[in-house]
Amino acid sequence: MNLRSTLYVVTAVVAGGLLGCGEQPKYYRVAIDRSPLDIVPDACYTSGAAPSDRTTNVVDVGQWIIWDGVEDRKYLQVGNINYQLGSSQVLIQGDAIVSTGDDKKPTFTVERTQNNPNRTSRATYTFEELGDTVEGTLALSFSCNGTGCTPGCDATLSFSGRRLDVDSSVLVNNSANN
């Protein structure tokens, strides 16, 4: 093999790697404004009245990961979702959520249904900005039908964050619970 052939092979491998793999995962440090959870309607509480204790000027902080998948999908990894909505709780355990909708303003929706009584918890992350910074909303909802239900409720939280400049490395072990 001569030098020219070697250069063609190296160029093809580099170009294929850059064009075929999409962007690597992006890591974000995100602040979620949870203050709307302190002002949900009284109907969201089993007692019919909101408690008087409230916290102000505090945000939840998370580290989120977003990466490109196949077929124009993106994946959002936020960890477990756990928010109190009045007397109810949106608790969804999982790892990553698959995008739906516009690639420029992706939406990530996850829903958990349970029986006896019939309950549905939903979390929808909508990104208005996704680049070096992120901004958007997290819409939470809970509904319940049947005996022993807590009141249904919903709230919308805003979030904003910055992309972290990290050198990611992937550690692989012999477990499905990475």
The letter for the amino acid at 170 is V
CA dihedral (40, 41, 46, 48) positive or negative: positive
pLDDT score, position 176? 53
Per-residue confidence of the chain (178 residues) as pLDDT tens digits? 444 443 333 343 333 334 445 568 999 999 999 999 999 999 999 999 998 888 888 899 999 999 998 888 999 999 999 999 999 999 999 889 999 877 778 999 999 999 989 999 999 999 999 999 999 999 999 999 988 899 999 999 999 999 999 876 766 665 555 4
